[in-house]
């Protein structure tokens, strides 16, 4: 069924993948701000009146909110920007959805958890360890009480991300150049290829509440080794190291892997980390 959708953050890594996927079958109005792109409408989500006016004009059935400041260290340095982009923009998107009776799908993160447990379920209590994850958790709470809302948490595996190099692209290019790399063997998530994510989000257009999306629990080292093997690269260049010894300006959670059994039970959506790595490798031309 064709839907009218406002897609925020449409020039970002996830947003551009969603724009390409959803515009094939739906009427999608893509928004951008910091990273303008052809075919997208520039709009500042920090101004609540602007998104409400647009929603009343376009009358979307869904507002798909992907905007986020994901630079963890910058969020700790620039608290106001992190609040504006991650939290206040979500409130403004929610108010716009309410104004026209639209559904809102909010893109959150598995980083809302402390990382001390792993395989987190939807009913587990978030405990952010840095300001990025704190603002993302506050953003989830901006949807409190609005019944036509859906919150999604996951880790993206992709090649492209607006304004920065992704883990996969960095790893493959480094190994192709013969450079040794170090990957954490004690930092875990549940990687999901961005194209799979786009397909799943479309499948969840009528879902409500909160869902965890992902594959199984893999360390950064496991994911890197699988990517290297999928691209036929030299895995001997990859050294396993410990995230505990890393010194980053903002702390990072160690294990934010997700239990995605609710998603499988309710919607029949499931995958494996190896399948997601294969999808990534199959989609990337040899010259990149």
Q: Flag whether 235 is in a domain.
A: no
Q: Flag whether 71 is in a domain.
A: yes
The per-residue pLDDT for 160 is: 83
In three-state secondary structure terms, 90 is: helix
Buried b / exposed e along 127-148 (16+ C-beta atoms within 10 A): ebbbbbbbbbbbbbebbeeeeb
The per-residue pLDDT for 246 is: 87
In three-state secondary structure terms, 168 is: helix
How are beta strands 103-107 and 27-32 bridged, if at all?
Answer: unpaired
Buried b / exposed e along 20-43 (16+ C-beta atoms within 10 A): ebbbeebebbbbbbeeeeeebeeb
Helix spans in 144-193 (H): 167-176
CA distance 40 to 265: 36
Total domain count for the chain? 1
The one-digit pLDDT tens for each residue of the chain (288 residues) are 899 999 999 999 899 999 999 999 999 999 998 788 899 999 999 889 999 999 999 999 999 999 999 999 999 999 999 999 999 999 999 999 999 999 999 999 999 999 999 999 999 999 999 999 999 999 999 999 999 999 999 999 999 877 678 999 999 999 999 999 999 999 999 999 999 999 999 999 999 999 999 999 999 999 999 999 999 999 999 999 999 988 899 999 999 999 999 999 999 999 999 999 999 999 998 767
Give pairs for 174-181: CB < 8 Å, separation 24+. Answer: 174/237, 175/228, 175/231, 175/233, 175/234, 175/237, 175/238, 176/233, 178/234, 178/237, 179/237, 180/237, 180/238, 180/239, 181/224, 181/237, 181/238, 181/239
CATH assignment of the domain containing 163: 3.40.50.720
pTM over 0.75: yes
Closest CA to 31 of 1, 49, 55: 55
Q: Flag whether 105 is in a domain.
A: yes
Sign of CA pseudo-dihedral 233, 239, 243, 245? negative
Task: Quote the tokens at residue 112.
Answer: 């809302």
Q: Flag whether 242 is in a domain.
A: no
Q: Flag whether 226 is in a domain.
A: no
Strand partners, 151: 106, 210
How are beta strands 62-65 and 188-189 bridged, if at all?
Answer: unpaired
CA distance 204 to 121: 18
For 48-61, give the secondary structure using H, E and C. HHHHHHHHHHHCCC
Rounded to 5°, the CA angle 100-102-104 comes to: 130
Q: Flag whether 243 is in a domain.
A: no
Q: Flag whether 89 is in a domain.
A: yes
Residues spanned by the domain of 43: 4-220+248-283
Q: Flag whether 239 is in a domain.
A: no
In three-state secondary structure terms, 261 is: helix
* C-alpha dihedral, 94 to 98 to 104 to 109, nearest 10°: 20
């Amino acid at each position: 069924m064709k839907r009218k959708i406002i897609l925020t953050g449409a020039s970002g890594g996830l947003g551009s993948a969603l724009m390409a996927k959803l515009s094939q079958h739906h009427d999608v109005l893509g928004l951008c701000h910091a990273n303008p792109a052809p075919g997208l409408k520039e709009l500042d989500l920090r101004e609540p009146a602007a998104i409400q006016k647009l929603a009343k004009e376009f009358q979307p059935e869904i507002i798909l909110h992907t905007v986020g400041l994901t630079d963890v260290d910058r969020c700790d340095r620039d608290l106001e920007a992190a609040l504006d982009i991650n939290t206040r923009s979500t409130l403004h998107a929610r108010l716009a959805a309410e104004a026209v009776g639209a559904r809102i799908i909010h893109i959150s993160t598995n980083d809302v958890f402390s990382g001390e447990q792993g395989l987190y379920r939807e009913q587990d209590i978030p405990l952010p360890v840095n300001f990025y994850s704190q603002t993302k958790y506050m953003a989830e709470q901006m949807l409190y009480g609005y019944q036509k809302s859906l919150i999604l948490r996951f880790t993206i595996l992709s090649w492209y991300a607006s304004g920065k190099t992704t883990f996969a692209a960095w790893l493959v290019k480094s190994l192709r150049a013969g450079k040794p790399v170090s990957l954490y063997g004690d930092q875990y998530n549940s990687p999901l290829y961005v194209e799979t994510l786009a397909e799943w989000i479309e499948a969840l257009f009528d879902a409500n509440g909160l869902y965890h999306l992902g594959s199984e629990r893999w360390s950064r080292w496991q994911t890197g080794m699988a990517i290297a093997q999928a691209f036929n690269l030299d895995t001997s260049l990859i050294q396993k190291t410990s995230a505990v010894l890393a010194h980053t300006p903002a702390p990072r959670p160690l294990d934010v892997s997700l239990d995605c059994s609710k998603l499988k039970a309710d919607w029949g959506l499931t995958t494996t980390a190896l399948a997601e790595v294969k999808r990534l490798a199959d989609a990337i031309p040899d010259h990149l």
